[in-house]
Amino acid sequence: MAKDIVVVGGGTAGWMTAAYLRKALDRVGSIRVIESPRVGTIGVGEATFSTLKLFFDFLELRERDWMPSCNASYKMAIRFVDWRRGGGHFYHPFQRYEVVDGFNLGEWWLRLNAEEARAGEGAGDAPFDYACFTVPALCDHLRSPRFFDGRVFDSRVQSFFSEAEGPANKALVEHRVQYPYAYHFDAALLADFLRGYAVRRGVEQIVDDVIDVRLADDGSIDHLVTAEHGAIRGDLYVDCTGFRGLLVNRALGEPFVSFGQSLLCDRAVALQVPADSRAQGIEPFTTATALDAGWVWKIPLYHRLGTGYVYSGAHASPEQAEAALRSHVGPAADGCTANHIAMRIGRSRNSWVKNCVAIGLASGFVEPLESTGIFFIQHGIEELVRHLPNGSPDEAVVKSYNRIVGECIDGVRDFLVLHYVGSDRDDTAFWRDAKRASMPDSVADRLALWRRRLPDPKSINPSFHGFESYSYSVMLLGLNSRHAASLPVLEQVDERNALAAFRAIRERTAHLLATLPSCYDYLAHMRGELELPAIAPSALSAGAAIALEGAGRQGGADRGEAGEQAQA
């Protein structure tokens, strides 16, 4: 087992790695983090993936311990806007389909929407996302995923959110359920928070520049040369130096495999925009709005909005992109400073080379369309812990790590390619070129099948990459609902159970809307800025007033739980 671990880089990746390793490895002698006083962090990366809760659970941090310090809020879905030729929006929720008589509700929606909707029954005339899931309506009405007493709205996973018990599992590899939400946060504040956590537990912080990396005869890293602290040696080096890949790419010469042939967006311009959350509420979802040369993210934090335009540098200049972003945001962007970022899209051929493991942007990155950057970090750290060798790294272990990490990043790349090829937009050169960009064979083969039928667990990429078949199905239905026909066999199956399931979703949605607090009120309450017992409903923002009223009228939120359970 490595005795001394040296992490280079103090961004989100560096401090997530140091905090996790310190907690996971009692017997490692030292963990040191070297962070440059000169080179900044990327400092965006504010939307996350639903599995991130496992990371905080592992560190034994409850939401109220870290969320207020990081201006964090909740995210139940991504709202895709204008990704279809005719405009409009759809949600990609953190919510699996229910399954009725062996077929998921996406399939049933395709079958029933056409006929029974016309008769005012069936899945109703609701779009597929509102018909199949409760989350879209909760998002529209700015609801919190938790009741004031802390219970999460989806009773199927409530025990995982209980503070008393804590989840039985805290690792991605054993994760079997779908958590219904992720987080939005200020990435710089999270890095600060984790720095404090790690340093209090014995991680040493060294503020200095690594100015050289000296190799041993076998090509591994012998030691690092720093500007102020001289030579620094370790048994294992973790490269968290971001897009630079200072150790893994520059010093060890590991090639970087670009995804530029398949994903065209390679630049971003970001703004931090003030917001009055109390007056406007907090949207519990990320928005991804398609523009002429890419798409704009909007990430609501407790105190402000993070927004940015991810675009193709071949289709827009930085000046054009900034102008388009400012025009999209409107007057709220006035006076906000733009941060222009060149993105390295792809991955190091191998993330683990000799005695160095790259984590974070140094390992790999795809455009943040599904908020996977921090998920890659979490995955890389967990796999590192599982692959730590007894003595010096052995070839089979390193190979296994590299395969697992590579497959995960490639799997997400393929899923993102689907976002572009699945969309029917072709109104600008970017959208036409995005569809002509080379499609990995893995995507091309599957897409041919998915034009006939919706993705299912057997037809998606089987390697772990965080996304389940429901996500693929949702994206295809959302991007162009005529993409797949319903399964012919469903014509032969009695639809009554499916009709009942759609009706139950409508009823459950109505109940949750009446009983869940608003996202703003829940977070304000968590932060101690909203005292529930002392206030009259009229003093609350609209969402909480409805919630309290609904709870009284319907005998408390327990009813909602029972309603959920009946469907689970």
Ligand X SMILES: Cc1cc2nc3c(=O)[nH]c(=O)nc-3n(C[C@H](O)[C@H](O)[C@H](O)COP(=O)(O)OP(=O)(O)OC[C@H]3O[C@@H](n4cnc5c(N)ncnc54)[C@H](O)[C@@H]3O)c2cc1C
Catalog residues that contact ligand X under the rule CB under 6 A. 8-14, 34-36, 39, 41-42, 44-48, 187, 209-210, 240-242, 244, 246, 268, 270, 308, 341, 343, 360-362, 368, 371, 373-374, 377
Closer residue to ligand X (CB): 209 or 424: 209
Rounded distance, CA 364 to CA 351, Å?
8
Q: Is 75 a catalytic residue?
A: yes
Closer residue to ligand X (CB): 6 or 138: 6
Q: At 348, list the tokens.
A: 């190091």
- What is the nearest approach in angstroms of ligand X to the Cβ of residue 377? 6
Q: At 361, list the tokens.
A: 């942007």
Three-state DSSP class for residue 317: coil
- 3-state SS, 472-519, equals HHHHHHHHCCCCCCCCHHHHHCCCHHHHHHHHHHHHHHHHHHHHCCEH
Closer residue to ligand X (CB): 97 or 376: 376
256 contacts 344 by C-beta, under 8 angstroms: yes
Closer residue to ligand X (CB): 117 or 385: 385
Contacts of 226 (CB under 8 A, 6+ apart): 34, 206, 208, 209, 210, 211, 232
Closer residue to ligand X (CB): 303 or 503: 303
Rounded distance, CA 238 to CA 228, Å?
20
C-alpha to C-alpha distances, 353 to 33, 68, 238, nearest whole angstrom: 19, 38, 10
3, 23, 53, 75: which one is catalytic?
75
Closer residue to ligand X (CB): 18 or 512: 18
Closer residue to ligand X (CB): 38 or 436: 38
- What is the nearest approach in angstroms of ligand X to the Cβ of residue 277? 19
Contacts of 466 (CB under 8 A, 6+ apart): 49, 51, 372, 375, 379, 408, 411, 412
Any alpha helices (H) in 39-152, and if so which ranges? 52-58, 63-66, 105-115, 128-132, 135-140
Rounded distance, CA 544 to CA 526, Å?
13
- What is the nearest approach in angstroms of ligand X to the Cβ of residue 365? 6
- What is the nearest approach in angstroms of ligand X to the Cβ of residue 199? 15
- What is the nearest approach in angstroms of ligand X to the Cβ of residue 15? 8
- What is the nearest approach in angstroms of ligand X to the Cβ of residue 159? 27
- DSSP state, residue 13: H
62-68: long-range contacts, CB 8 A cutoff, minimum separation 24: 62/163, 63/526, 64/526, 66/190, 66/193, 67/183, 67/185, 67/523, 67/526, 68/302, 68/526, 68/527
What is the CB-side half-sphere exposure of residue 62 using CA atoms within 13 A?
11
- What is the nearest approach in angstroms of ligand X to the Cβ of residue 295? 12
Q: In what order do the strands lie in the sheet with 4-8?
A: 204-207, 30-35, 4-8, 236-239, 356-358, 352-353
- What is the nearest approach in angstroms of ligand X to the Cβ of residue 195? 10
Rounded distance, CA 251 to CA 222, Å?
11
At 193, the amino acid letter reads: F
Closer residue to ligand X (CB): 43 or 556: 43
Rounded distance, CA 112 to CA 102, Å?
16
- Residues annotated as catalytic are 75
